[in-house]
Amino acid sequence: MKNYLTILTVFLTLHTYGQSAAYKQLRPPVDNISNDIKYWNTPRCYAYLKKITTTHERLHSMYPKELRSSFLEEVHFYTAPNSPIYVVVKFYSNAGYNIYCEVPGWEVDNFLPENYESYGEKFQDHISPYKCNCR
């Protein structure tokens, strides 16, 4: 019985101190969304979605009738002064929104004109490569 208590004590000690040390991370100064994404391996998408939609100006939104896509349900473009463009997308196959970060203006300009039958193809070419690294 004494051996079991010793093993249990050692296990709990290692587990407690080892876990707390493993989860300690130094946080870099955060100025904006772009810095968050560069410094964190897998930030929370919900936090970025909330930050983008509350602090950035919505430039343009597109809905099913305009998109003519079985793939894209909604597409919203956001920006702020001295900030890149963020694209928030809702797919028919997914319940939540997906975020695409630091999309260059020229890619947005190539996406917007109505010269395709569907925006799904244009999305793959111009917006999809800029998927944010979040979960």
User: In this model, does residue 113 exceed pLDDT 70?
Assistant: yes
Domain range holding 91?
A: 27-130
What is the pLDDT of the chain when averaged over all its residues? Answer: 75
Residue 5 is assigned to a structural domain of this protein: no
Residue 121 is assigned to a structural domain of this protein: yes
> Model confidence over 82-106: pLDDT tens digits?
888 999 999 998 888 999 999 999 9
Residue 123 contacts residue 71 (beta carbons within 8 Å): yes
> Model confidence over 42-80: pLDDT tens digits?
567 888 899 899 999 999 999 998 888 888 999 999 998
pLDDT level of residue 15 (50, 70, 90 thresholds): very low
Residue 8 is assigned to a structural domain of this protein: no
Residue 96 is assigned to a structural domain of this protein: yes
Q: Average pLDDT for residues 126-132, to the nearest whole number? A: 94
Residue 34 contacts residue 43 (beta carbons within 8 Å): no
Residue 125 is assigned to a structural domain of this protein: yes
Residue 92 is assigned to a structural domain of this protein: yes
Q: What's the structural domain count of the chain?
A: 1
